Amino acid sequence: MDRAKRPTSNEPVDVLVVGVGHLGKQHARVYRELSGARLVGVVDADPEKAKEVGTALGVPYYLELTPELIASTQAASVVTPTPSHYAVATRLIEAGVSVLVEKPMTSSLAEAQALDRLARERGVTLQVGHIERFNPVVIAALPHIQDPIFIECDRIHPFSFRSVETSVVLDLMIHDIDIVLNLVDSPVAHLDAVGTRVLSGTEDLASARITFDNGCTAMVKASRVAIQKSRKMRLFCSNSYISLDYIAKTGMRISLKDGYDRERIDFKRMAALEETQGAYPLFTQFFNIEQLAISNEEPLRGELQAFLLAVRTGREPVVTGEHGVQAIDIATRILDQIKTAQDSYYRRRQGRAIEVGGD
């Protein structure tokens, strides 16, 4: 039974933002700009943050989520630190409030599963904040991606003191985990992962190889100890290659021309011609090179608009609670692999130390 509080007719959705730190204040800004939303207030335990954002946007600000405040809203963005996602979202869902929970959905798989189950029982919209689904670069590529065979994802960031309580797997890599799971319609058959701590108490570097039942392999790498940002994805399909650069906001597709047959190409002759003609003219005899048309739409705006539509209509959101659970599941398996590898390394290291030291 649908117990969610939803607007009637064409009334805007009464929405609240819980947590107005670095990302939460952007949620509040976009809601304030959208005609389909009525921002009823912002909440943050930090009095200065709450006042700053509330005053700047001309909306009430609060230091805690009270029963009266929950009763006044129909939807909320939960943008608090990850360890509090489950508790905050649970309070809202139990009161019939639809929620957009920022990624990672929760700190653990058990919490993610419980939150998804509760939302379904209460008939409440639960959307997970995997914002890359709304990235114009990804959206432009989607029509061209068919049965990917091999995927490479690199997500490299400078170190930030904001997210050190969360492993880089749940902080950054989970974006690409979600995208890969959405593109490859097949169960995960096997995964291997390595990672290490560098500057914080959780993993700052991680790399994983995910193999699917259908034969597709995804290589996913994340780091938060670099000097410059780099966010790229490369996809190989049976008849095309797609290269995406999230930061440059560019995308390129290379596809086989009709009639291409590698069995009939004289590669030795083509190599000889390359000496005088160069590679590009010969390459374009067999391949089409296309620059993807990328829009200037702000990903967060698209994400919040999709959330509001799901709240208003009761339709399933673009990124469901189940999607969030699946991403957490794979992220957890990657973290378990990393821990196993680290434990094995320290045992070997300790053993060598005992051998050197003697009895």
Given this model, what pLDDT does residue 357 score?
Answer: 59
Enumerate the β-bridge partners of residue 223.
156, 205
CATH number at residue 179: 3.30.360.10
Asked if 233 and 182 sit in the same domain, the reply is yes
Vertex 275, ends 274 and 279: CA angle to 5°? Answer: 30
Contacts of 160 (CB under 8 A, 6+ apart): 224
Given a cut of 90, whether residue 167 has pLDDT beyond it is no
Asked if the structure places residue 330 within a domain, the reply is: no
Asked if 90 and 207 sit in the same domain, the reply is no
- Mean pLDDT of all residues in 342-356: 64
Say if residues 293 and 143 touch (Cβ distance below 8 Å).
no
Asked if 170 and 109 sit in the same domain, the reply is no
Give the pLDDT confidence of 272-293 residue by residue, as tens digits.
777 788 777 767 777 889 999 9
Whole-number Å distance between alpha carbons of 305 and 312: 11
Enumerate the β-bridge partners of residue 250.
245
Separation of CA 39 from chain center: 25
Given a cut of 60, whether residue 294 has pLDDT beyond it is yes
Asked if 207 and 118 sit in the same domain, the reply is no
Contacts of 162 (CB under 8 A, 6+ apart): 21, 22
Given this model, what pLDDT does residue 236 score?
Answer: 96
CATH number at residue 306: 3.40.50.720
Containing structural domain, residue 315: 13-130+301-319
Whole-number Å distance between alpha carbons of 181 and 188: 9
Asked if 146 and 259 sit in the same domain, the reply is yes
Give the pLDDT confidence of 221-277 residue by residue, as tens digits.
999 998 889 999 999 998 899 999 999 999 999 988 877 677 777 777 778 777 788
Asked if the structure places residue 342 within a domain, the reply is: no
- Mean pLDDT of all residues in 308-330: 96
Termini Cα distance of the chain: 69
Asked if 20 and 86 sit in the same domain, the reply is yes
What is the chain's Cα-based Rg?
24
